């Protein structure tokens, strides 16, 4: 554009400059492409599953194909989309910018984490082409260690994807500690950084346990050592403990960054300092730590002791309070603001409703006696899809629209954004509200064939899934069009005070033309704006 440093998209040309880049922004974009492909793959599996469920009896696919597809849907969505989606894309892009750093602490480890991710994804894909495991993404032993399908490639893929997740987390922790711009104190950091930091702690501590658990399953499947098989002296419930020790905190790996996104969107569009900065910042850490003490609520009907059930039950109530703190503070932030209602805000509104409802049904299933009826039924499916789709995917879309001008230097079409956000919300509810009722009625999860009395609700859910899928495709289409033909974006189209907007759009290779002044706070909407125009546009 000008003689000033070129933006990161045009600084270098050629495929090598992308594949061998150590620029966190380019790596973030490569992660964006990879996770969107994963979302499309996992979504396609979901569409086949839902189509099968249009009919109660056998049709379309064989039971074993169905079982493989729901396993792959889970593995792809959890390990290849949800976990890296926000941290490795938006965390990667925004964390150094929000801290005023030129890059992450370990740029080459960042690039390596992308290739480790690709390796893990390739292993899992190879396993899929090879037939695919039919164990469910939960790999419960001893079924997983005796399944007739090939468990090892998928388990190994999950293991390698976990390594990538740990590398990302370590990088973020080191960056937050070491690369904050001079004068930027912890309590000056944007809330998103706190959320990503808390997520990274979970990734680093919990993921090794998952790696251990899935490798033991793969080894057990291959050599029949009997680690989890009681016929050979093992214990299947031990696997459940190991698995959920990771996989419950993993839920927070998926939702905490989403909460961080919302905590940026709300102040920006309400032009308002958060209702309570400390509440938002420390509740993320609270979730990260207390989240480690709740895994047993997945085992209420697995034969754990009454004492265990009591402890895990009450810890689950405590972890829920941190989520309540966040919802309360976001809504409080709107009070006396100056609110612009656009696509990210519509996604925020959808997020509050869906996440709050999903979270409250989490309280419901953490209530021990109620869980006995709901456990492993569609109620649980609906509950965690409310959190994962209604929460994380909604926030992912909010982030994509909110940071789109910064990342690509183009605006998206607002009207299309609002329409598709509305459709996503409608399609989502039509898909998953019937699933709550199916769970109440007693339909178990992972059911290829079901009794006729569940037919009507299943048809509704499938139609909702089609609508949800179509609106996501619509979103992708107009965003792709805007990449090229969108209106050029100014440096700070939303009038945000946050640090990343004090750089041109798209940012130069080293993120800032001039260092920003962290004393002009990231949420200081009660003070006159900092010298808004970055150097690049001034010349």
Partner 1 sequence: MNELLRRLLHLPEQRSSIAIGIDTLHYTVILATMAGVTLAAAVAAVFLFRYRRSSSAIPLTPRVVAPLWLEVGVYGGLLALFCAWWVVGFRQYREIETPPPDAIPIYVTAKQWMWKFAYPAGPTSQDALVVPVGRPVKLILTSRDVIHSFYVPEFRLKQDVVPGRAEMLWFEATEAGTFDVLCTQYCGTRHSLMRAQVIALSGADYARWLDAARAPLTLPGAKGDGQGLAERGHQIAAERGCLRCHTTDGTRFIGPTWANSFGRTRHTTDGRDVLIDEAYLTESMMDPRAVIAAGFQPVMPSYQGVLTPAETSAIVEYIRSLRDVEPVRTVPPPAAPLAFPPPAGTPGGNP
Nearer to partner 1, 325 or 400 (CB): 325
Q: How far is the CB of 139 from partner 1 (least distance, A)?
A: 11
Q: What minimum distance in Å lies between the beta carbon of 30 and partner 1?
A: 35
Closest approach of partner 1 to the CB of residue 195, in Å: 19
Helix axes of 92-99 and 24-52: crossing angle, nearest 10 degrees: 140
How far apart are CB 450 and partner 1 at their closest, in Å?
7
CA–CA dist 496, 268 (Å, integer): 5
List, in order, residues 6 or more apart from 250 with CB less than 8 Å away.
78, 83, 202, 206, 210
Report the nearest approach of partner 1 to the CB of residue 309 (Å). 6
Give the C-alpha separation, 448 to 56, whole Å.
8
Q: Closer to partner 1 at the Cβ: 121 or 262?
A: 262
Considering only CA atoms, which of 161, 122, 131 is closest in space to residue 67? 131
In the complex with partner 1, the residue whose CB is nearer, 370 or 481, is 370
Residues near 315 by beta carbon (within 8 Å), at least 6 away in sequence? 290, 293, 294, 297
Cβ-Cβ contacts under 8 Å for 121 (sequence gap 6 or more)? 34, 38, 80, 157, 161
Nearer to partner 1, 170 or 363 (CB): 363
Residue 153 in contact with residue 127, Cβ under 8 Å?
A: yes
- 254: nearest Cα among 91, 110, 368: 91
| Closer residue to partner 1 (CB): 87 or 464 | 464
CB 202 to partner 1: min, Å: 22
In 3D space, the residue among 402, 404, 379, 382 whose CA is nearest the CA of residue 391 turns out to be 382
Q: Which is nearer to partner 1, 328 or 478 (CB)?
A: 328
Three-class DSSP category at 510: coil
Least distance between partner 1 and beta carbon 424 (Å): 16
Least Cβ distance, residue 300 to partner 1 (angstroms): 7
Nearer to partner 1, 135 or 207 (CB): 135
Alpha helices in 78-151 (DSSP H): 83-84, 92-99, 107-129, 143-146
Positive or negative: CA dihedral 395, 400, 402, 403 = positive
By C-beta, is 113 or 496 nearer to partner 1? 496
């Amino acid at each position: 554009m000008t003689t000033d440093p070129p933006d990161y998209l045009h600084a270098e040309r050629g495929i090598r400059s992308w594949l061998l880049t150590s620029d966190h922004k380019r790596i973030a974009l490569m992660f964006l492409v990879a996770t969107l492909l994963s979302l499309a793959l996992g979504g396609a599996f979901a569409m086949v599953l839902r189509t099968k469920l249009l009919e109660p009896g056998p049709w379309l696919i064989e039971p074993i194909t169905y079982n493989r597809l729901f396993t792959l849907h889970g593995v792809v969505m959890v390990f290849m989309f949800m976990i890296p989606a926000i941290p490795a894309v938006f965390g990667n892009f925004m964390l150094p910018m929000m801290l005023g750093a030129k890059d992450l602490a370990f740029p080459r480890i960042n690039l390596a984490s992308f290739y480790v991710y690709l390796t893990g994804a390739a292993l899992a894909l190879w396993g899929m082409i090879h037939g695919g495991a039919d164990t469910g993404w939960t790999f419960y032993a001893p079924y997983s260690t005796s399944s007739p399908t090939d468990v090892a490639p998928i388990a190994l893929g999950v293991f390698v994807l976990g390594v990538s997740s740990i590398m990302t987390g370590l990088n973020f922790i080191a960056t937050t500690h070491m690369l904050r711009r001079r004068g930027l104190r912890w309590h000056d950091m944007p809330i998103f950084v706190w959320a990503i930091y808390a997520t990274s702690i979970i990734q680093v501590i919990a993921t090794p346990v998952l790696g251990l658990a899935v490798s033991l399953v793969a080894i057990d499947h291959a050599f029949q050592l009997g680690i989890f098989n009681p016929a050979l002296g093992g214990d299947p419930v031990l696997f459940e403990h190991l698995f959920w020790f990771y996989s419950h905190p993993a839920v927070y790996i998926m939702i905490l960054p989403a909460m961080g996104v919302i905590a940026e969107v709300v102040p920006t569009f309400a032009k308002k300092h958060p209702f309570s900065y400390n509440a938002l910042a420390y509740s993320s850490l609270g979730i990260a730590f207390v989240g480690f003490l709740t895994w047993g609520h997945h085992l209420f009907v697995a034969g754990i002791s009454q004492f265990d059930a009591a402890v895990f039950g009450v810890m689950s109530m405590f972890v829920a309070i941190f989520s309540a703190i966040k919802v309360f503070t976001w809504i409080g932030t709107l009070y006396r603001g100056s609110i612009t209602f656009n696509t990210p805000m519509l996604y925020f509104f959808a997020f509050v409703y869906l996440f709050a409802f999903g979270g409250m049904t989490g309280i419901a299933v953490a209530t021990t006696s109620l869980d006995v009826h709901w456990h492993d039924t569609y109620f649980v499916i609906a509950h965690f899809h409310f959190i994962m789709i209604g929460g994380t995917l909604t926030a992912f879309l909010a982030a994509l629209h909110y940071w789109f001008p910064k990342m690509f230097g183009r605006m998206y079409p607002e009207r299309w954004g609002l329409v598709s956000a509305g459709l996503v919300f409608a399609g989502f509810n039509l898909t998953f509200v019937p699933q709550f009722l199916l769970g109440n009625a007693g339909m178990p999860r992972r059911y290829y064939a079901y009794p006729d009395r569940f037919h009507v609700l299943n048809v509704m859910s499938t139609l909702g899934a089609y609508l949800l899928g179509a609106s996501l495709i619509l979103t992708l289409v107009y965003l792709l069009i805007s990449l090229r033909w969108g209106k050029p974006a100014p440096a700070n189209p939303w009038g945000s005070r946050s640090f990343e907007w004090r750089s041109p759009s798209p940012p130069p290779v080293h993120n800032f033309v001039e260092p920003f002044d962290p004393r002009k706070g990231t949420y200081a909407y009660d003070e006159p704006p900092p010298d808004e125009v970055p150097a690049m546009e001034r010349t």
